[in-house]
Amino acid sequence: MTDAKDERRPAGELEASVLAALWAAGAPQTPGQVQLSLGADLARTTVTTILTRLHGKGVVDRRRQGRGYAYLPVRDVQDAQGLTARRMHSELDRDSDRETVLARFVAQLGPDDERVLRTLLESDGR
């Protein structure tokens, strides 16, 4: 029988939770502070690993605080949608043939998503 705390969370759920804690704090937070605000059964080392990965992805900045770091979200990633958009840009930047990547992305969109994308492009919805 599997214990509930041993079950794996969906990909990105922990990152989103950690980012939500940083946004809610409104000031740089240490891994220990993030751990406390999450109120979950997460080890501080797990929170530190997530913050380090988010820093590597350019989603959070960090500032030296004592022997460790305090983390804060970067300005253009203010919510879960901002994080998703940042990931999409990162993936696009990994390939030198952007046109083909974008063409294949658009080809896989459903009619509703295609309609939204057209509306955004026509209105310059940045």
- 11 pLDDT band, cuts 50/70/90, is low
> Position of tokens 């997530």?
50
CA distance 81 to 3: 31
pTM: 0.62
pLDDT at 41: 81
pLDDT at 10: 63
Does the structure show a pLDDT above 50 at 1? no
Least confident of 26-30, 74-78, 98-102: 74-78
- Cα of first residue to Cα of last residue in the chain, in angstroms, is 49
Average pLDDT of the chain is 83
